[in-house]
Chain A
Amino acid sequence: MMPLWLVVVAPVAIAVLIAGAGSRPVRFTRWLAAAGPVLALWAGMERLLAGHGESAASTAGSLSAEWLVTAVGPLGIGLAADALASVMLVVVGVVATMVVVFSTGYMADDPAQPRYFALISAFSAAMTGLVLSTSLLGLFVFWELVGACSYLLIGFWFTRPSAARAAVKAFLVTRVGDVGLLFALAVLWSQTGTVSIEGALAAAAGLGTGLATTVALLLFLGAVGKSAQFPLHIWLPDAMEGPTPVSALIHAATMVAAGVFLVARMWPVFEASPTAQLVVLVIGCITALGAAIAAVPQTDIKRVLAYSTISQLGFMFAALGSGAWIAAIFHLTTHAAFKALLFLASGSVIHGSGTQDLREMGGLGRVMPVTTATWVIGVAALAGLPPLAGFFSKDGVLDAVWVHAPAAGVVLFIASALTAFYSFRATRLAFGGTWRGQGHAHESPLSMTAPLVVLATLAAALGAATWWFAEALGGHGHLALPIAIASSVVAAGGAALGWSAYGAGPATDDALAARLGALWGSARSGFGVDAAVVAFAGAAERASAAASSVLDGTVVDGVVHGVVKVARWAGRELNSLQSGEGQLYAALVGAGAVLLASLALWLGR
């Protein structure tokens, strides 16, 4: 078995190597960035194949250490791979490998390639560490580190003010959630005296409903930040300022799914709290529907995909809130394949057409055949059309939610219809019709199209793994036929509507905007949530700037200066001590020392 520490440590060493070697050999060293992901894929696959049909942890190659030691007990960290972690290793491994290969083409002309590939390698180390962690403390460490890599990669083109701003926003908004995770750790430590996940889960049942709800909601706050759920979703659309392969890896397939992973990992805590489950379900549904609506009027191809990602993560949380964590993880897996595919395909489109504005595209189907074919497989999977992967995983989600809470099921069906609609709107605008942009669009090189083909294959075929997947995680896979039929009809209807309505090109946007009025503009700006939060943050920053001069400058120092004035006055009155504070000071030090020394003499008689 591949030792798990190697999966985490090797890509860190490689990152240092790539960064240290610099620009000259980067044509070669950049390929090393794929080593970490390949190791992760290998480690995950061999464990899944060996432990097929079991959910028990495979402890081979695991590692544990005591990070801090107290008389109460150790605060441990460690790495181990159970079935859930192995699935995540495979997801991270496949997507990251494809992204590295794609990036060798996409980033080929960028002067800062060493920094880029080093950060990608560092990210894959942190992400594998996150999924392998056996303690919540270790998970938190890696949780923050993937966030830091995300920050540095969103701000990769840091001379662009918009990229710098987006990077800070992503870090800070997710950090609000991270504080929740930090205090979940604090509660667990103070109540159970352990930070190990196993220990926490074992203690979950004995925590009592109130405390379990508290811990679950704190954990969920972390998940809401990382996985861009309402109302902390606002950082993700802006995160598209990063290079597109980064969006595919971090902001579609892996890091943003970490919240879903966290809830699944800590499932017994949520199971002990119906309240927390309800909150997860409601937030998931609000996000799934709201983001699906917001995706419709976007004109930037990456922003369509960003809102789509937020929405699909909402689907996963809805499944979690309905108690179906295996369905959520399966949707996470297929989503990783088809959304990474879509982002990389959009990268290919941006690379080949020179724009990311859907209104300036059109007719790319003829000049970019491979990109087009793979994109269409991706959107069909996203829309949930049979027999693609998304159809099977979404069926699992819809079935669980429908059985658990029909009202939530209805919300998700509407979101599904909208998903199909915006997917095929974007498809028609980009690939259908005639070229509306400037210059000549062209197909991308093999380094970029090959990963598309691999991911498209997975997006098409992963559905066949439905049953195997569920059993590997300790559940039972099945296809809920009535739901499957209903969702296929809804998806096909949405897709057909989206495709046909946009036969007229971008003009349809104007027509819809005219008919829908304020709703269109409001949806386009994400319903003003973003503007409200940003306005609030801006006001807070201005207030603190004002406060710093008033509080420290006037209030606190005012008191100090007052005291000094009194002291000066006293000094003048006590004429003998006015010769200057330096001497006064020295004299007093001397006097004090003499006083103490005499005391010592007296005491030491």
Chain B
Amino acid sequence: MTLAGLIVVPLAGALLTALVGRRVPLARAVALVSALGTAGLAAAAWSEYAQTGERMAFDIPMIGAGAFFRLAADGLALPLVALTAVLGVMAVLTGWNAERAGGHLALLLGLEAAVMGVFLAADLVLFYVAWEAVLIPMFFLIGGWGHENRRYAAMKFFIYTFAGSALMLVGLVLLILWSGGTAIVDTPGALAGSEHLVFWLLAAGFLVKVPVVPLHTWLPDAHVEAPTAGSIMLAGVLLKMGGYGMMRLCAPYTPGAMADAAWVLAVLGVAGIVYGAVMALGQSDLKRLVAYSSVAHMGFVVLGISAGSELGYQGAMLGMVSHGLVAGLLFFLVGALYDRAHTREMAAFGGLGRTMPRWATVFVFASLASLGLPGLSGFPGEFAAVVSSFGTFGWPIVVAGVGVVLAGAYTLRAVRAVVHGEPAGSAGIEGVDAHGATHDLAGSAHGPAWPDLDLREYLVAVPLVVLIVALGLWPRLVTDIASATLQALAFLSGTVS
């Protein structure tokens, strides 16, 4: 029941929120309660699985149709379910003050329900339906609450993912035909047809979603135009569907083809790491920069998957959870800044460390997490991905090291432009202090007086900060729950190291 609740509660919440949409305070309350309820259910599912270690399942026998609404949760799904639940709450809090808040919050909850469906589906048909259902609320969030260029971005997002899903659909049909059923099982037998064909058709859909270079250009546009809460869900959760699909379907159903394609995945992963970083370095729009950094981070996830080993899968899982938290926090912060300044151009800012110290502190923290600083959540995943793929592929992986340095470059460049320096538009009141060094002596803000983070914004930021630190210090928070499932996957992949 818990598993069904994870889909039903946000879905019911979405419908209720939409129904009471005109009465904004009530709509907000309903949305928040459903998001929190979903998070509670996720916690319950987590603790149950942690205790029993057995795959949780839920079936409704549908009339004459075998079972279509089949759900299951294991170590691969639960970390992402938990991530979705956490970010669902954060998204609701972020979309709190949106125009037409009822509709906005309803779409966010609908999105959450659909994503839960993807992660929990134990049936290929349900998987596909949920996969496509995710696009609908996202499309309307971008189209209805986006920025200037939203029509172009929404359409681009649609065309890319449509092209990917169309191929994936063919792959799923073949998979159903050749595996002899729609149920998703852990250890399927050999397919009755070409593994390679199925693998590449499925991978087409998954890799667009991740996204890998060169299938990624929908991502920056979609992010820049999406409302902040949409960006949090898009980067935090939707991209994970690609990595999840690779591990849920490709790894067990087409292990041979996946092993043959491992080097292609590694090339795509490293390409994403370097290309995403180079692009991020060239941006002047802060949100675009964060969007490109997502391409780089997801490159590490693909790299971990390509390694095909237990450590590699752990790296991919850690990378996905961490990116959800860190990119979620960064998009939230950029959005909070945009709400105040109505621009995202880095050149328009400067000296926010002086004028908005609390925002700046969290932004510096998130930036350090984003560049993979050990002790914060980005590091364990990157580390495991690099080390494991080095074990599989050897020296070519050194190219990813370029991305590691560039990650420092683009993140700290953003910090320097936005947080450091004199407050933008200030008269630059300078003084000479006792040490002979000139620096700004006036402690007060001059320049545009934007308010610092408020209580609601703290409620979004602080839990994410805590989780980023916890996961960075002790990655086994995630890998312990995932390890049995990931070990089985690695065993299927044929490499254990």
Partners in one complex: yes
Is B84 on the interface with A (CB-CB < 8 A)? no
| Chain A interface helix/strand/loop/mixed | helix
The answer to whether B405 and A165 touch across the interface, beta carbons within 8 angstroms, is no
B window 415-441: CB within 8 A of A: 415-416, 419-423, 432-440
B463-497 vs A, CB cutoff 8 Å, 1 = contact: the mask equals: 00000000000111001100100010010000011
The answer to whether B379 and A70 touch across the interface, beta carbons within 8 angstroms, is no
Which residue of A158, A163, A557 is within 8 Å of B217 (Cβ)? A557
CB distance from A313 to the nearest CB of B (A): 22
Minimal Cβ-Cβ distance residue in B for A601 = B65
**Which residues on A sit within 8 Å (CB–CB) of B439?**
157, 159-160
CB distance from A262 to the nearest CB of B (A): 16
The answer to whether B214 and A556 touch across the interface, beta carbons within 8 angstroms, is yes
CB distance from B285 to the nearest CB of A (A): 11
Is B401 on the interface with A (CB-CB < 8 A)? yes
Is A595 on the interface with B (CB-CB < 8 A)? yes
B window 330-373: CB within 8 A of A: 351, 353-354, 364, 368, 373
Complex Cα distance, B404 from A183, in Å, reads 12
**Which residues on B sit within 8 Å (CB–CB) of A552?**
217, 220, 279
Q: Provided the pairs A172-B409, A350-B436 are in contact, do residues A71 and B310 lie with their beta carbons within 8 angstroms? A: yes
A554-588 vs B, CB cutoff 8 Å, 1 = contact: the mask equals: 00110110011001000000000000011001101
The answer to whether A585 and B391 touch across the interface, beta carbons within 8 angstroms, is no
The answer to whether A67 and B419 touch across the interface, beta carbons within 8 angstroms, is no
Highest count of chain A CB atoms <10 Å: which of B163, B173, B278, B379: B278
Q: Flag the segment in A141-149, A284-292, A376-384, A399-407 that touches B.
A: A141-149
Is B81 on the interface with A (CB-CB < 8 A)? no
**Which residues on A sit within 8 Å (CB–CB) of B173?**
595-596, 599
CB distance from B465 to the nearest CB of A (A): 12
Which residue of B177, B180, B398, B420 is within 8 Å of A158 (Cβ)? B420
Is A447 on the interface with B (CB-CB < 8 A)? no
Is A511 on the interface with B (CB-CB < 8 A)? no
Is B56 on the interface with A (CB-CB < 8 A)? no
Minimal Cβ-Cβ distance residue in A for B176 = A599
The answer to whether A68 and B475 touch across the interface, beta carbons within 8 angstroms, is yes
Is B263 on the interface with A (CB-CB < 8 A)? no
Is A497 on the interface with B (CB-CB < 8 A)? no
The answer to whether B405 and A548 touch across the interface, beta carbons within 8 angstroms, is no
Complex Cα distance, B390 from A141, in Å, reads 19
**Which residues on A sit within 8 Å (CB–CB) of B437?**
157, 160
Is B188 on the interface with A (CB-CB < 8 A)? no
Q: Provided the pairs A109-B433, A168-B413, A603-B181 are in contact, do residues A548 and B353 lie with their beta carbons within 8 angstroms? A: no
**Which residues on B sit within 8 Å (CB–CB) of A599?**
125, 173, 176-177, 182
B75-90 vs A, CB cutoff 8 Å, 1 = contact: the mask equals: 0000000000000000
Minimal Cβ-Cβ distance residue in A for B387 = A186
CB distance from B386 to the nearest CB of A (A): 6
The answer to whether A72 and B497 touch across the interface, beta carbons within 8 angstroms, is yes
Which residue of A148, A187, A564, A589 is within 8 Å of B373 (Cβ)? A148
The answer to whether A159 and B217 touch across the interface, beta carbons within 8 angstroms, is no
The answer to whether A351 and B419 touch across the interface, beta carbons within 8 angstroms, is no
B276-306 vs A, CB cutoff 8 Å, 1 = contact: the mask equals: 0011011100000000100000000000000
CB distance from B432 to the nearest CB of A (A): 8
Complex Cα distance, B437 from A455, in Å, reads 26
The answer to whether A603 and B180 touch across the interface, beta carbons within 8 angstroms, is yes
The interface size of chain B toward A, counting residues with CB under 8 Å, comes to: 97
A window 173-206: CB within 8 A of B: 175-176, 178-179, 182-183, 185-187, 189-190, 193
Complex Cα distance, B278 from A546, in Å, reads 10
Complex Cα distance, B156 from A155, in Å, reads 41
Is B380 on the interface with A (CB-CB < 8 A)? yes
Q: Provided the pairs A541-B281, A551-B279 are in contact, do residues A182 and B401 lie with their beta carbons within 8 angstroms? A: yes
**Which residues on A sit within 8 Å (CB–CB) of B129?**
593, 596
Is A25 on the interface with B (CB-CB < 8 A)? no
The answer to whether A601 and B64 touch across the interface, beta carbons within 8 angstroms, is yes
The bracket for how many chain A residues form the interface is: 35 or more
Minimal Cβ-Cβ distance residue in A for B218 = A560
Is A171 on the interface with B (CB-CB < 8 A)? yes
Q: Provided the pairs A68-B476, A585-B162 are in contact, do residues A183 and B483 lie with their beta carbons within 8 angstroms? A: no
B window 144-191: CB within 8 A of A: 155-156, 158-160, 162-163, 166, 169, 172-173, 176-177, 180-182
CB distance from B122 to the nearest CB of A (A): 13
Complex Cα distance, B417 from A155, in Å, reads 13
Is B311 on the interface with A (CB-CB < 8 A)? yes
CB distance from A550 to the nearest CB of B (A): 10
A335-368 vs B, CB cutoff 8 Å, 1 = contact: the mask equals: 0000000000001001101111000000000000
Which residue of A111, A137, A157, A597 is within 8 Å of B443 (Cβ)? A111
Q: Provided the pairs A140-B374, A597-B68, A600-B68 are in contact, do residues A172 and B405 lie with their beta carbons within 8 angstroms? A: yes
Complex Cα distance, B435 from A210, in Å, reads 52
Is B5 on the interface with A (CB-CB < 8 A)? no
Is A592 on the interface with B (CB-CB < 8 A)? yes
The answer to whether A597 and B125 touch across the interface, beta carbons within 8 angstroms, is yes
The answer to whether B182 and A183 touch across the interface, beta carbons within 8 angstroms, is no
CB distance from B32 to the nearest CB of A (A): 28
Which residue of A110, A144, A603 is within 8 Å of B374 (Cβ)? A144
**Which residues on B sit within 8 Å (CB–CB) of A175?**
404-405, 408
The answer to whether B282 and A172 touch across the interface, beta carbons within 8 angstroms, is no
Complex Cα distance, B474 from A582, in Å, reads 45
Highest count of chain B CB atoms <10 Å: which of A109, A175, A582: A175
Is B460 on the interface with A (CB-CB < 8 A)? no
**Which residues on B sit within 8 Å (CB–CB) of A592?**
128, 132, 169
Highest count of chain B CB atoms <10 Å: which of A178, A355, A548, A564: A548
**Which residues on B sit within 8 Å (CB–CB) of A57?**
none
Complex Cα distance, B434 from A244, in Å, reads 13
CB distance from A20 to the nearest CB of B (A): 12
CB distance from A247 to the nearest CB of B (A): 12
Which residue of A110, A141, A165, A168 is within 8 Å of B379 (Cβ)? A141
The answer to whether B419 and A354 touch across the interface, beta carbons within 8 angstroms, is no
A window 502-559: CB within 8 A of B: 541, 544-549, 551-552, 556-557, 559
Is A482 on the interface with B (CB-CB < 8 A)? no
Minimal Cβ-Cβ distance residue in B for A564 = B159
Complex Cα distance, B437 from A244, in Å, reads 11
B window 16-68: CB within 8 A of A: 64-68
Complex Cα distance, B405 from A183, in Å, reads 13
Is B231 on the interface with A (CB-CB < 8 A)? no
**Which residues on B sit within 8 Å (CB–CB) of A137?**
383
Q: Provided the pairs A567-B159, A599-B173 are in contact, do residues A155 and B434 lie with their beta carbons within 8 angstroms? A: no
Minimal Cβ-Cβ distance residue in A for B439 = A157
The answer to whether A182 and B176 touch across the interface, beta carbons within 8 angstroms, is no
Highest count of chain B CB atoms <10 Å: which of A144, A350, A356, A595: A144
The answer to whether B404 and A604 touch across the interface, beta carbons within 8 angstroms, is no
CB distance from B448 to the nearest CB of A (A): 16
Complex Cα distance, B417 from A557, in Å, reads 28
Complex Cα distance, B173 from A605, in Å, reads 17
The answer to whether A176 and B182 touch across the interface, beta carbons within 8 angstroms, is no
Is B124 on the interface with A (CB-CB < 8 A)? yes
**Which residues on A sit within 8 Å (CB–CB) of B256?**
none
The answer to whether A603 and B182 touch across the interface, beta carbons within 8 angstroms, is yes
Highest count of chain A CB atoms <10 Å: which of B163, B373, B383: B383
Q: Name B's A-contacting residues (CB within 8 A).
A: 64-68, 123-125, 128-129, 132, 135-136, 139, 155-156, 158-160, 162-163, 166, 169, 172-173, 176-177, 180-182, 214, 216-217, 220, 275, 278-279, 281-283, 292, 309-311, 314, 351, 353-354, 364, 368, 373-375, 379-380, 383-384, 386-387, 390-391, 397-398, 401, 404-405, 408-409, 412-413, 415-416, 419-423, 432-440, 443, 474-476, 479-480, 483, 487, 490, 496-497
The 6 closest A-B pairs by CB, nearest first: A604-B66, A548-B282, A164-B420, A545-B282, A141-B374, A186-B390
14 pairs, CB–CB < 8 Å, chain A vs chain B: A72-B496, A160-B438, A161-B422, A167-B412, A171-B408, A175-B404, A176-B405, A190-B390, A353-B436, A544-B281, A551-B275, A581-B158, A585-B158, A603-B180
